[in-house]
A and B are shown apart, each in its own frame.
Chain A
Amino acid sequence: MQDIFQLAYWIPLLPLLGSLLNGLGRRYMSRSMAGWIGSLSVLGSFVLSVLVFLHVKSGHSEVIHYFDFIKVGTLTIPFSFQLDALSSLFLLIITGVGFLIHVYSTAYMHEEDPDQFARYFSYLNLFVFSMLLLVLGSNYVILFIGWEGVGLCSYLLIGYWFKNPAYTAAANKAFIMNRIGDLAFLVALFWIITKSGVVGFQDFFSFVQQHQFTERFTATDITVITLLFFIGATGKSAQLPLYTWLPDAMAGPTPVSALIHAATMVTAGIYLIARSNFLYSLAPHTLHLISWVGLLTALLAASIALAQNDIKKVLAYSTVSQLGFMFLALGTGAYAAAVFHVMTHAFFKALLFLGSGSVIHAMGGEQDIRKMGGLSTKLRITYFTFLIGCIAIAGIPPFSGFFSKDAILLSVFLHSPLQYGLALFAALLTAFYMFRLLFLTFAGQFRGTEEQKHHLHESPWAMTLPLLVLAVLSVIGGWVGIPEVLLPNAEPLIQFLSPVIPVVPHAVSHETEYILMATSTVLVLLMVLAAWWRYRHYQPGVSTSPFTRLLENKWYVDEIYDKLIVQPLSWMAAWLRSVAEAKVIDGFVNGVGRAVQYSARQLRFVQSGQVGLYVLLMVLSMAVMLFIQFFIRK
């Protein structure tokens, strides 16, 4: 089994090969062929990941060095992979969920032309490759390569239907907002390089342990670096203030939303901070800020999700909100809880997205939940699995979401009761809007057109099978993190992660834990009831209050950004182009030329042709010269 680590490079390589095969050969590829290549390559990675995971689980971890990527002076950036608990866990999530979504996509994207179909799979495989690179990299640079790579794939996939200008705009927005975060990431990275000269996680970790660390790094340095990394994470993981790209990113095909914008890519920020936990533990101010940003994001996104009518938008805001929860966990120092939530969230959010894709598929592309309703009878599997997803996300025991969210809430409670209250509120909102979505979609009467009604049908097996698998995972996925209070010697996940993330024993009585769990469960159930009460017989056209309109319009954040940043920049660029460049700088350059020509035109009139004037000028200059020589220069 030792050899399995030596094969680790196949994990990212397989999807890359799949991507290249699909991408370059797309003209000669049939749909099924492209689908097979895409899915099987990820399946291969998944199998390898499982083997790696098992090996790691038996207590091994290793940094495998391939070649030196960049070597300048004393700075060496190796191209090497780190196989340990954290990365192997993420490997499983990425390849596992990724494989399911590939399978799902073969059916979902079936209406595309073969070459576009292959292009889609090429992008999707490329994404998996990049994401794997991100989590496998043993240093910040390789991580960054993957980090940017997933950004690129996200861009490509959001703009997959490139004929639609709105979609390509969303793609650009996603990439650019990510780049803002990337800049912060890079600056942090440069900072580390400048101060320590190393980039590897382990190298840096051991550097942090050394005594020279405190000589070179001041508290400010640490705070700045951690803050910058966090800003990088807010870009990728859609936190305040850089979250607005994620809802727009729903322009991409639904499986993409499931894979990239729910299960994997957006959790890269959490991965980054969890990876750097040894540094963050030294930066209490940053952690505090992270917790608040996460909390506010969770609240804000949840509030927006309450009033959205696009099925995918609701899920998108829900994702933002859940990511906020994860950051909240990170901020309170519960790195393992955050990673736990990443995992469960990957299951149920992928499930929900794929379910919504199934709905959209059935509705012939309709995404407005006001025009749905009553689908539970027609789409039984979809309904059933979607329900499981909702329960899981709402945090009802014993579904997976309950345990991960409970771990977070417990940690927050220990950290700050105020934050706990707000977080609980956000969790309640989650339950409310998710069940609102469920009821509007599946309950009540069908509100669509007759034609749509006629065409309603359950999706093919390639779509339902992943739904079922994910549903099972959503149910049982949380059991790896059952808290000690419920099951002695449990929490295998935290134990598993302990080599990377030190276990923090929390001193809290069992009674308190019971009370917290009970409170949240009861309140969530109440919210579910409330949602059912309100939306079981929903009729569109109900007049909305100003507050709802505010929520529907997402607090006008996009508009504010546009007014505050984009438009001034655009105005400034136009001004620079037409005034600063053309009039001032080039005007000066041309002005010099014109001044020469002007003086040439004027100066030649001295040459009047009059001999008298010539002599006069000569005599005058002569007199002046003599005068200066004898009466001034003396």
Chain B
Amino acid sequence: MIALLILLIPLLGGLVSFMIGDHKKWVGPVFLLAAGLQFLLVLLALTSWDQPELHRFSAAWMSDVGSSFSLSLDPLGKVLCLLNAVVYFLLALYLQGRSMQKPGAFYGWLLLAQAGMMGVFLATDGLLFYFCWELALIPMYFLSSIWGGPRRIAVTFKFFIYTFLGSILLLAGLIYLQSLTPEKSFALDAILKLNLTNTQQSWLLWLILPAFAIKLPLFPFHTWQPDAYEEAPTPVTLVLSAVMVKMGILGLLRWLLPILPVAAYQWGDVIMGLAVGGIVYASLIAWRQDDLKRLVAYSSIAHIGLMGAAAFAGNLGSLQGLCFQLFAHGINIMGMWFLVDLIERNLGTRKIADLGGLAQRSPGLTLFMVIIAFANIALPLTNGFVGEFLMFTGLLATKSNYYWVFTVVAGSGIILSAVYMLGMIRSVFFGEGPSQPLPPVKLSVQEQLVLLIVVGLIFVFGLFPQPLLDVTASYSDNLFKQIDISYLFKNF
């Protein structure tokens, strides 16, 4: 029941937002109300209403193609729903009082996107999953294309087509899986029971993987991302990179690894190789970016690369780290985008070359940036550290023969992340600044509040990660058992 409510609140909120689009005074509060309600609900679902029977919902729907409307709030879903709710709540808070064109439509699309993403996180039916997957994409298309930067139309279109291509291959894979089940069902449980041959698994892997790889995005499927991030309005970029990319990870964890464990192992070397190669690649490119948004975009690719590799590392440490990092990365990158947005809106530029010396006149902003940047480069006692630490542990322990290569190459990302992040801070915040001094960036009360919450989350989860790890412990354990194929090696 709660699962259904989680889906319905943003959906209804979005529709209401569209309806009252003309009353500009009301759309902001409505957005905040919907996001706040959602946040409250998810919080309650994780705490006092934490009964499994409340977390499932199933209704008949398209039964003759073997699909049903079934949702379930499992531990992984909990983490992601929480992230989604937190991000939207903070975003709603942050955007209060912002004037823009057609705010009703803007918030409406945003909420619809949230509904779609929630659906992806909750669905336990293949077809419903795919539905929500696309439902989350369409709002993003409109949001970026209407409210975005000068090259928005072409760039967003590329993003859309690229993602769409991936997702229809995913659809083919799902249908294929459905046709293999004895009861012709899209239900995840039915699919998990399949005994697929190695060939089938390989086939399916390459049908299903591209959708997730593009969404993440994993090197070399990433080229839509920097452009899309750059051209989308920053709040949308925030949602894209803080929550939407998690759909890809969720897809890997729920719809790929447990279903195709053998193929995941067989191709693990290739995928992990690409992923860790992508870390170095993206980090080096991030180093040479002169646009703040592009820099953060490439840094995100690098971080996601590690997450992708961890997903395929296939052991408990990496999975737990990944589950944690899903949340941590969302929080950190959200903080990053808030700051980028503040800089862009207050100073009118996000070109690194035009910025400089912000620390003199905007010390508060600088402090936030330093903290969030260091959380992003996984300094211990920030939340970024825990996830990356566990993922690295897992990466070294992976069954692949190249475990140490992966670890070292991925590890060089640790160094490079410091290189580009600190380089950016140095150019933007330190030094004397341009000859025409930039005006100070004044933070409003709610902006300060939002950033403080972000920083608070960074430290709280950096110091006490265990509660969140406990949430996903059973899940990771279970998943690990599902993907553990060591029984295959016993014969040797």
Contacts and interface: CB of A to CB of B under 8 A. Distances in A.
Find out whether A and B make contact in their complex, taking CB atoms under 8 A apart as touching: yes
Given A163-B360, A593-B158, A585 B220 contact: yes
A405 to B, nearest CB: 35
Contacts of B429: 162
B289 A577 contact: yes
A186 B411 contact: yes
B390 A183 contact: no
B422 to A, nearest CB: 5
Given A72-B316, A577-B289, A168 B431 contact: yes
B189 interface: no
Contacts of A176: 415, 418-419, 422
Contacts of A33: none
B285 A576 contact: yes
Contacts of A194: 393, 396-397
A569 interface: yes
A191 B464 CA distance: 24
B477 A73 contact: yes
B414 A183 contact: yes
B359 interface: yes
Interface in B393-446: 393, 395-397, 404, 407-408, 411-412, 414-415, 418-419, 422-423, 426, 429-432
A175 B422 contact: yes
Interface string B147-182: 000000000001001100000000000000000000
Contacts of A182: 414
A190 B381 contact: no
B415 A172 contact: no
B285 A190 contact: no
B379 interface: yes
A576 B223 contact: no
B109 interface: no
Interface string B433-465: 000000000000000000000000000000111
B243 to A, nearest CB: 24
Interface string A4-46: 0000000000000000000000000000000000000000000
B423 to A, nearest CB: 7
A169 B426 contact: yes
A581 B357 CA distance: 31
Interface in A354-372: none
B396 A145 contact: no
A183 B377 CA distance: 12
A70 B386 contact: yes
Interface string A489-519: 0000000000000000000000000000000
Contacts of A75: 317, 393
A187 interface: yes
Interface in B257-294: 281, 284-285, 287-289
A172 B423 contact: yes
Contact of A187 (B284, B396, B469): B396
Q: Is the interface of A mostly helix, strand, loop or mixed?
A: helix
Interface residues of B, number: 59
Contact of B411 (A69, A155, A159, A187): A187
Given A152-B379, A165-B430, A585 B223 contact: yes
Nearest to B422: A172
A156 B414 CA distance: 19
Interface in B354-371: 357, 359-360, 363, 370
B130 interface: no
A175 B466 CA distance: 29
Contact of B430 (A69, A71, A163): A163
Q: Is the interface of B mostly helix, strand, loop or mixed?
A: helix
Contacts of A67: 464, 466
Contacts of B463: 69
A144 interface: yes
Contacts of B389: 70, 141, 186
B233 interface: no
B288 A577 contact: yes
Nearest to A148: B380
Nearest to A580: B281
A191 B396 contact: yes
A144 B388 CA distance: 14
Given A149-B381, A163-B432, A589 B158 contact: yes
B94 interface: no
B431 A163 contact: yes
Interface string B454-487: 0000000001111001000100110000000000
Nearest to A77: B389
A183 B418 CA distance: 12
Contacts of B411: 183, 186-187
Contacts of B338: none
Contacts of A593: 158, 161
Interface in A584-622: 585-586, 589-590, 593
Nearest to A73: B316
A68 B466 contact: yes
B88 interface: no
A180 interface: yes
Interface in A49-80: 67-73, 75
List the 10 shortest-distance A-B pairs measured between CB atoms, nearest first: A145-B380, A573-B284, A586-B223, A162-B430, A190-B396, A194-B397, A73-B316, A168-B430, A72-B320, A183-B411
9 contacts: A68-B466, A75-B317, A145-B381, A165-B431, A171-B422, A176-B418, A186-B411, A190-B395, A585-B223
Interface of A: 67-73, 75, 115, 141, 144-145, 148-149, 152, 155-156, 159, 162-165, 168-169, 171-172, 175-176, 179-180, 182-183, 186-187, 190-191, 193-194, 569-570, 572-574, 576-577, 580-581, 585-586, 589-590, 593
